[in-house]
Structure 1
Amino acid sequence: MSMKSKTSSKHVLLLPFMAQGHLKPFLQLAHLIRRRSRGLTITILTTPLNVQLLERMSGNPEFTEPGQTGSPPSVVRLVALPFRCSEYGLPDEAENADMKPLAVIMKLLGASTALEAPVRRFVDEEIVRKEGRPPLSIISDVFLGWGVELAYSFASLPLTFSTAGAYGSAVYLSTWGDLPRQSFAKEEGVAFPETRRFLMSLDTAGSYTNEWSEFIHSQLSKSMKSAGWLFNTFEELEPLGLSVLRSHIKHPVWAVASLGANETQPDEKKNTVLTWLDLQPQGSVVYICLGSQVALTHPQMMELATGLEESGKRFVWVIRPPLGFDIEGEFKSEWLPNGFQETVIGTEKRGLLVHKWGPQWEILSHKSTGAFLSHCGWNSVLESLSRGVPMIGWPFRTEQVCSVKMLEEMGVAVELLEGSVTKEDVKRAVNVVLDTQGKGGEMKRKANEVGRIIQLATAEDGDHTGCSLKAIDGLLHTLFQQAN
């Protein structure tokens, strides 16, 4: 039974960080709250271009499902904050961290702290003055820790939302407070699993500067003062990670993940991909996509392509120019092995290259897709497992390292070897996962089991109420207690 408000016109404010991997879970959260409540206005505040991105995601049928019966219904609003890129030294339309070089991302981090002033004005002028009371709660991204201080200043309940999984978030919270470091040779005082490997990934990645770690440390320190935490995971998927977090945070923790916020793709591109997949045998295709913030070096791209070619397997590869080239520019065949496009893509018709963006949800849902080679960003992990697709992990950053380890232990993923990935690594991993008569068959079975857990998490049927729905009901109970 969901929680229902006794009075109308109560407000919950959501503040996501400006990256697609953060925006999607916030939109999913907003609509879960809408579905389980009455009389709430749930407002997502972000910059204008990110509001447009959220609007493109909002066409998903799940977001038009009716909420609780009775009146008034809860509603979700998207509100654009004033934001001028030039004021922060950002290129035009650089309001989102996706597909941006590190220098731009660093400026965007700084700009994100400047959003506090317009958010404060919005709360004061549009909520407090017009509605006569502050928001019930301000739920801010873990990277926008200033939102916690803002909530306290308005006597709203301050909550923090980590859009990563529980396992990765546990490592994040246990380590970032100690950065920047000069050396990760010791693990003294470390409380969580996989911390050593996480720290080494920071030490060797070369992209995590003192400026970056100082920003994260500052925002996490503020986020740790919140009255409760939400995590983008499922209670029954990550019981260990959530248990560790609860013992560490010592405040309420809710696992509130759901699925459904996928950006609308052009029909022409979607139809091309799905038509090609329709011609392939069931479970025979490996889908390759390394997220919106990863750019392969040219040598890495060559090794991946050669490994795919020598594996003899079918593939769909969402491909972009290599690191150092304009990511929005035209893709050049010279970035791939000699004859790759003519032979593997053209003559053999064994692969399909999809430039820049692909219809990921539809690809993962297709019967021909048998594996997903991914950076293991958390949204990609949840989408893949929800469709019962085992994974090949190629982690590049931070909690991705931890996620791959957890997935390996669950038996639903294999990892490309650390360090310089070779064509042999690619060939080996692809052949293992697509071999349904061997280890790949067992991985597929376990991925299907995890998929059923995820599907049930947001389902309600008879006596069954999914774990994510129960978590939202618990969250709403806390909010209404605050109001009363």
Structure 2
Amino acid sequence: MEEKQKVSILVVPFPAQGHLNQLLHFSLLLSSRGFPVHYASTPTHVLQAKSRVQGWNPSSLHSIHFHSLPIPPYPNPPPDQNSIIKFPSHLFPSFEAFINIRAPLSSLLQTLSSASTRLVIVHDPLSSFAGKEAESLPNTESYNFQCLSALYGLTFPQISESTAKLLRAHDWVLPANDICITEEFLDFADRNSHDNNERESGMIINTCMELEGEFLELRRQELDYKGKKLFAIGPINPVVIRGGGHRHECLNWLDKQPDGSVLYLSFGSTTTPSEDQVEQLAIGIVQSRQRFIWVLRSADRGNIFAEEAKETGYKLPAGFDKEVEGRGIVIRDWAPQLDILAHKSTGLFMSHCGWNSCMESLSMGVPIAAWPEHSDQPVNALLVTKYLKVGVMVREWDRREEIVAAKDIEEAINKVLVYDEGKEIKQRARDLGEAVRGEVMDGGSSRAELDLFIDHITR
């Protein structure tokens, strides 16, 4: 381990929750192997990542060196809950402001480089300037950390012929990126993520062979990464939850429910449902008669700690509380998702299908009722429901502009929790969860690839 201490690691996430979270998990994982790990972002986003980490004992955060890099003030607008296009465009000012960490990051890189035999930079694709800033330093190497599925990586920014052939073999037609992502963000991604492949030493990806074996193999053959290292080390989230700290009251309620009986609903940190959709959700939940935990909140703002970002709350239909008394909980703030999914009483996750949520649910063996909203989510939903067959679609992507009716929501819930076909879906999800958890244990492919990554950076 003395030799490994000569290697320092700097992690630079993109400032959106799913990215902050995955790269903090990765930082904690490397720190547990004895490496000095540095995590750099804006002051707001460092605090956001720390305040929301799950699955680790809170004291483990003391092992990470956090660096809050200053940026200028930026607008902090609310999400538009009535927008037909659900991409979180309100976050764009914070994304643009984030690029201003480049200058203080350059100074940090020089400091860490001078104190290390080798400095390893692990950055989000949208933080690729971190690798470019390190180019002039003689003892650095950089790695691209993919917070997205291998399948989605094959489709962005465009689909190659080999990928198209694979998709035809599965009889899949994927939505075009310009339908799932705004033109403004596609331009931002083009400016900030595509120019570093030649300089990077390789790619790290939060997936595993059990989930995406054939897509990973095709990813390895991509021209940009031929001859370079690709390390598939997922799931990056803990699969054994470590205790410690405050226990959320919803977990005490879950303790009293039958195994596999509870529906968990959460649409992530970037989705804001309309009032009309919330009403239909509430009616569908009531009509399903199932136990539930419902995280009902708007999307994050660019600065979640600002006074104007305090949640005002949705109105639920009259009589809802009385109808569901004793069989459900509505959470209007941040929820302990990983703890909920790991709990034996949780039987179904109604989800937007962000990759972070997919990996957490699949690694815990919980089937998914898929409701994709934007970005990579339509592709992830297809992977979960059509390929892995561990979920059902609540709303097909081509109906994305419609309000989903209560009867369709009720039907999706009952398909898994009530109907006979749900027994097979739940069993496949349990089996897959066991296999995925095995990937990060001794003998698993993800454990082996993490060991290969460590061997590579300490060579």
Normalised TM-score (structure 1): 0.79
Change (3 A) 1:398 1:195: farther
2:99 to 99, 113, 117: 113
Change (3 A) 1:309 1:223: farther
1:146 to 122, 129, 132: 129
Unpaired runs of 5+ residues, structure 1, are 66-74, 95-99, 178-186
Aligned counterpart, 2:449: 471
SS of the residue corresponding to residue 175 of structure 2 reads: helix
Change (3 A) 1:60 1:428: closer
SS of the residue corresponding to residue 429 of structure 2 reads: helix
CA offset at residue 256 of structure 1? 1.7
CA offset at residue 327 of structure 1? 6.3
SS of the residue corresponding to residue 376 of structure 2 reads: helix
SS of the residue corresponding to residue 36 of structure 2 reads: strand
Change (3 A) 1:117 1:197: same
1:212 aligns with 2:185: yes
1:241 aligns with 2:218: no
2:431 to 446, 449, 457: 449
**Aligned partners of 2:14 and 2:20 also within 8 Å:** yes
CA offset at residue 441 of structure 1? 0.7
Query: Following the alignment from structure 1 to structure 2, what is the Cα–Cα distance between the partners of residues 152 and 407?
Result: 39
Query: Following the alignment from structure 1 to structure 2, what is the Cα–Cα distance between the partners of residues 62 and 475?
Result: 25
The CA deviation string for residues 217-252 of structure 1, in whole angstroms up to 9 with x for no partner, is: 122312433221111112322102211211113232
1:174 to 146, 158, 171: 158
SS of the residue corresponding to residue 398 of structure 1 reads: coil
Q: Give the CA RMSD over aligned residues.
A: 3.4
SS of the residue corresponding to residue 364 of structure 1 reads: helix
One-letter amino acid of the counterpart of residue 446, structure 1: R
Query: Following the alignment from structure 1 to structure 2, what is the Cα–Cα distance between the partners of residues 373 and 455?
Result: 21
The CA deviation string for residues 85-142 of structure 1, in whole angstroms up to 9 with x for no partner, is: 42xx3349x9xxxxx9945411122122221111111111x223444x5x43211101
One-letter amino acid of the counterpart of residue 146, structure 2: S
CA offset at residue 321 of structure 1? 5.3
SS of the residue corresponding to residue 448 of structure 1 reads: helix
One-letter amino acid of the counterpart of residue 145, structure 1: S
Query: Following the alignment from structure 1 to structure 2, what is the Cα–Cα distance between the partners of residues 370 and 51?
Result: 33
SS of the residue corresponding to residue 300 of structure 1 reads: helix
Greater Rg by CA: 1
SS of the residue corresponding to residue 25 of structure 2 reads: helix
Aligned counterpart, 1:231: 205
Change (3 A) 1:189 1:472: closer
**Aligned partners of 1:136 and 1:479 also within 8 Å:** no
The CA deviation string for residues 44-103 of structure 1, in whole angstroms up to 9 with x for no partner, is: 1112233233434568547879xxxxxxxxx953322332442xx3349x9xxxxx9945
**Aligned partners of 1:363 and 1:369 also within 8 Å:** yes
**Aligned partners of 1:159 and 1:227 also within 8 Å:** yes
1:404 aligns with 2:389: no
SS of the residue corresponding to residue 197 of structure 1 reads: coil
Aligned counterpart, 1:79: 66
Aligned counterpart, 1:184: none
SS of the residue corresponding to residue 153 of structure 1 reads: coil
SS of the residue corresponding to residue 79 of structure 1 reads: strand
Query: Following the alignment from structure 2 to structure 1, what is the Cα–Cα distance between the partners of residues 4 and 358?
Result: 39
CA offset at residue 337 of structure 1? 2.7
Aligned counterpart, 1:53: 48
Change (3 A) 1:265 1:213: farther
One-letter amino acid of the counterpart of residue 244, structure 1: L
Change (3 A) 1:153 1:379: same
Aligned counterpart, 1:340: 320
Query: Following the alignment from structure 2 to structure 1, what is the Cα–Cα distance between the partners of residues 414 and 341?
Result: 18
Change (3 A) 1:295 1:480: same
CA offset at residue 266 of structure 1? 8.5
One-letter amino acid of the counterpart of residue 344, structure 1: E
Aligned counterpart, 2:304: none
Query: Following the alignment from structure 1 to structure 2, what is the Cα–Cα distance between the partners of residues 412 and 357?
Result: 26
1:122 to 108, 115, 127: 108
**Aligned partners of 2:58 and 2:244 also within 8 Å:** no
1:157 aligns with 2:141: yes
1:319 to 296, 305, 314: 296
- Greater shift in the superposed pair: 13-22 or 25-34: 25-34
Normalised TM-score (structure 2): 0.83
SS of the residue corresponding to residue 203 of structure 2 reads: strand
Query: Following the alignment from structure 1 to structure 2, what is the Cα–Cα distance between the partners of residues 319 and 425?
Result: 19
One-letter amino acid of the counterpart of residue 9, structure 2: V
**Aligned partners of 2:27 and 2:64 also within 8 Å:** no
Change (3 A) 1:351 1:344: farther
Query: Following the alignment from structure 1 to structure 2, what is the Cα–Cα distance between the partners of residues 147 and 458?
Result: 28
Identity %: 26
Aligned counterpart, 1:222: 195
Query: Following the alignment from structure 1 to structure 2, what is the Cα–Cα distance between the partners of residues 41 and 159?
Result: 17
Aligned counterpart, 1:413: 391
Change (3 A) 1:263 1:145: farther
One-letter amino acid of the counterpart of residue 127, structure 1: L
One-letter amino acid of the counterpart of residue 151, structure 1: A
**Aligned partners of 2:41 and 2:67 also within 8 Å:** yes
**Aligned partners of 1:137 and 1:479 also within 8 Å:** yes
CA offset at residue 445 of structure 1? 0.9
Change (3 A) 1:321 1:166: closer
Aligned counterpart, 1:431: 414
Aligned counterpart, 1:12: 9
One-letter amino acid of the counterpart of residue 119, structure 2: L
One-letter amino acid of the counterpart of residue 197, structure 2: M
- Greater shift in the superposed pair: 451-460 or 14-23: 451-460
One-letter amino acid of the counterpart of residue 428, structure 1: E
